Structure 1
Amino acid sequence: MLNIRLTISCLLSMLGCLSLSGMAQQATQPVLVFSYFKGNGDGLHLAYSRDGYNWTALRHDSTFLRPTVSKDKLMRDPCIIRGADGKFHMVWTVSWNDKGIGYASSLDLVHWSEQQFVPVMQREPNARNCWAPEITYDAKRKEYLIYWATTITGQFPESQQPGDSGYNHRIYYVTTKDFKKYSPVKLLYNQGFNVIDATIQPDGKRYVMFLKDETREPAQKNLRVAFSDQLLGPYSKPSAPITGKYWAEGPTATRLGNQWIVYFDKYTEHHYGAVTSPDLQTWTDVSDKVHFPDGIRHGTVFPVTEKELQVLLKEEK
């Protein structure tokens, strides 16, 4: 009888340890946050998810930050990363036709620094726009890479087409260590076609760029990937499309376990979609499995701690 009691006690103890271990893992596992905009660019919205598929708007889907810079005062395509300094750094599209981008930083995603207008293309007289800026941190160089899409009138005539208001983009970049001084602008990606919405993630010893082929005729409007051994490139020719027979834009990517997941805006269908891949070669559409707040537009996914999420959840009250 004593042996049976001891065995049951041991089993209960083991189950308790497993339960506590599971709770500890859940508590330490990063939560995903998604930054996005609504309408024409009303400001910064945030949503969160614990599984990467089901997303809940924070602060009742009202804005966390309203735009104040540039002539148009828009906040479209907000991209947020956590920097090496522990701060959250954000860049965004400030206008349809301005020569700069917006920048601000935060320690908690609630309270933000004064917004800055960064005139990245001011010295290029024929630049028409600066769209969908993104940030990637370069740990080797200890600096930030900021990159975006711009059309420069007269450049790259081989891909100039009459549709889409004559836009003919390439991806350009600057680097900065402190968001005060910036390097001269350089070309980051040109493979002979109209390209926008680039976003870069490390993949082991290489880097993967998710991008949109913006070609109008014959219409592409799909997402592809390119690779490089260095963050600053050169990047390869684009892969075959990773999205389907619909128009897609604004990719943002992260890992869920052993799978990559790429979220994107099915902008002509007015809802979000996603594709997954174990190897960045074979892709599965999981758009029917992801659930986002209504009206969500082009944004960025990034991890936060449980403690940081609780700060955001207090904004619900």
Structure 2
Amino acid sequence: MSALRARLSAILLAACLLFTSQALITPDRAAAADPGYLMLHFTGEGAAGQQMYLAHSTDGLHWNGLNGGAPILGSTIGTKGVRDPALVRSPGGDKYWIIATDLCISCGQNWEAAVNNGSRDLVVWESTDLVTWSQPWLLNVAGAIPDGRNAWAPEAVWNPETNDYVLYWATNKPVNGVKKHRIFYARTSDFRSITTPQTYIERPGPQEIIDTQIVEMPAGVGSHRYVRASGDGQITLEGSNSILGTWTNLGDLSGIGLTGSQVEGPMWMKFRDRNEWALYLDQYSSGRGYMPVTTTSPSAPGTYQVPASGSYHMGALKKRHGSILNLTAAEESRVLARWSDIPAKRLQSYNFQDRYVRHVGFDVRIDQNITGPDAQFRLRPGLAGTGTVSFESVNYRGYFLRHTGYDFQLVRDDGTAQFAADATFRQVAGLADAAWSSFQSYNHPDRHIRHYAYQLCLDPITTATGRGDATFRVTN
């Protein structure tokens, strides 16, 4: 009986471990499948900077440029420059538009001309998949505004009350010969024709307003259905329960040291996994591009916080006044397949050349003849330092090979400096064959990635066997 009890106990223990492992793995797999965020932006003055660029993030705070840092679209009409883009998705998710300022500073116009005799048009592109875009067209929005001098910083929001889009932008309509930008709006269903423009936001006296963006609140958060942030001498917050209704002033961000003389181009983003928002602000006065401030209650100015240094990363290119879209899984798959600039690679073992590095159950090992996505990684610029690499999983975006206790796992980037260091390596000449590669740990430089009993680990390398185990070929 004691033998039978022991056997039954072993079976029960194995079952418990199985269910426990499934309970632990399932949330991670669900999280791994969460799609990320897409930012559309321009980079600065000059013909190259004033075009359309994309960046992708898995967490909304750490951004990687797409398309090898090159623009995905360039304007061939109007001034042949575009700024301040908005990325608009239809309610059904079957159509997308980019609407942007038709402006090219330092490549055809200076600021004086742009303010007083600029383009009255917006540049528009249309797509059904976020990947293939139409030829651009010009949409005249300010031509019908008496003495309207330009059309800047367009945005559009779907209005369920009228079943169409509220398209809004800034136009300089001088008062007694003195420039004054205010926000005008029109309604549209296709971004090809619009209703007669009307004044949307006008500040008293000579105060101008150029940038504003609206975010819709989920039920139960704050006292307003919509919150808008505007650059009008401050970063002013207002709330309303109707896009075309009455808006209430909620305050500004001067309490955290941010005013309209320092930042502009407010851009909202809702974090997918929690009730928290980032309001990205373009640090135009210091020339540093976007930074995020975060809040759990957009309608309460006192809740906004400037993130700690190092808690976000904007990528190599400066990112200026643009738009963020929370991607669906299908959208992310299409966008990354088209615009990702880093090809998927495999790591082939030197001394077991029929085996490749792969992850299984988020553990990492070398297995025979693996060709699927479990064995594919993108060698991204190192998370912790220049001249280094980090290995991002192809089928679990935002998950990287990381050592913990000198063992390797596939782990989601949590944005910490410790994670970045543990997931960063220097690619050096192969320890067993200089034509291959070895990978030296960033934070333990006396250790290299190697396999031992087919498991990946981080070890000091002192023998010929170790050198063979620590040598790999980066291959397709």
Q: What TM-score comes out, normalization by structure 2 length?
A: 0.59
Distance in 2, Cα, partners of 1:237 & 1:305 = 33
Distance in 2, Cα, partners of 1:234 & 1:73 = 37
Aligned to 1:163: none
Aligned to 1:32: 37
How far residue 38 of structure 1 moved from its aligned partner, in angstroms, is: 1.8
Q: Residue 239 of structure 1: SS of its match in structure 2?
A: strand
1:291 paired to 2:313: yes
Superposition pairs of residues 93-104 of structure 1, within 5 angstroms: 93-95=101-103, 96=114, 97-104=118-125
How far residue 102 of structure 1 moved from its aligned partner, in angstroms, is: 1.3
Superposition pairs of residues 119-130 of structure 1, within 5 angstroms: 119-130=140-151
Residue of 68, 75, 96 corresponding to 1:60: 68
Whether contact under 8 Å (1:58, 1:312) holds in the other structure is: no
* Cα deviation digits, residues 207-246 of structure 1 (max 9, x gap): 1111101xxxxxx4x3121111111132223512255256
Residue of 236, 260, 263 corresponding to 1:248: 263
Runs of 5+ unmatched residues, structure 1: 161-165, 214-219
Q: Residue 230 of structure 1: SS of its match in structure 2?
A: coil
1:227 paired to 2:244: no
Q: Residue 252 of structure 1: SS of its match in structure 2?
A: strand
Residue of 125, 135, 149 corresponding to 2:156: 135
Superposition pairs of residues 1-317 of structure 1, within 5 angstroms: 1=6, 2-27=8-33, 29-40=34-45, 41-70=49-78, 72-86=79-93, 87-95=95-103, 96=114, 97-154=118-175, 167-192=179-204, 193-203=207-217, 204=219, 206-213=225-232, 220=233, 222-237=234-249, 239-241=251-253, 244-245=257-258, 247-256=262-271, 257-271=274-288, 272-280=290-298, 281=300, 282-286=303-307, 288=309, 289-293=311-315, 294-314=317-337, 315=339, 316=341, 317=343
Which of the two has higher C-alpha Rg? 2
Whether contact under 8 Å (1:136, 1:200) holds in the other structure is: yes
Distance in 1, Cα, partners of 2:77 & 2:193 = 19
Distance in 1, Cα, partners of 2:186 & 2:138 = 14
How far residue 47 of structure 1 moved from its aligned partner, in angstroms, is: 0.3
Whether contact under 8 Å (1:274, 1:287) holds in the other structure is: no
Whether contact under 8 Å (2:41, 2:323) holds in the other structure is: yes
Runs of 5+ unmatched residues, structure 2: 1-5, 104-113, 344-476
Distance in 1, Cα, partners of 2:250 & 2:297 = 16
Whether contact under 8 Å (1:189, 1:234) holds in the other structure is: no
Matched residue count: 299
Whether contact under 8 Å (1:133, 1:146) holds in the other structure is: yes
Distance in 2, Cα, partners of 1:313 & 1:128 = 39
How far residue 89 of structure 1 moved from its aligned partner, in angstroms, is: 1.4
Distance in 2, Cα, partners of 1:141 & 1:283 = 32
Change (3 A) 1:189 1:67: same
Amino acid at match of 1:142: N
RMSD (Å) for aligned C-alpha atoms: 2.0
* Cα deviation digits, residues 134-175 of structure 1 (max 9, x gap): 111113322111111111022xx6xx9xxxxx5421111111
Q: What TM-score comes out, normalization by structure 1 length?
A: 0.87
Moved over 6 A (4+): none
Distance in 2, Cα, partners of 1:18 & 1:90 = 41
Whether contact under 8 Å (2:282, 2:320) holds in the other structure is: yes
Distance in 1, Cα, partners of 2:238 & 2:329 = 33
Identity %: 28
Change (3 A) 1:244 1:177: same
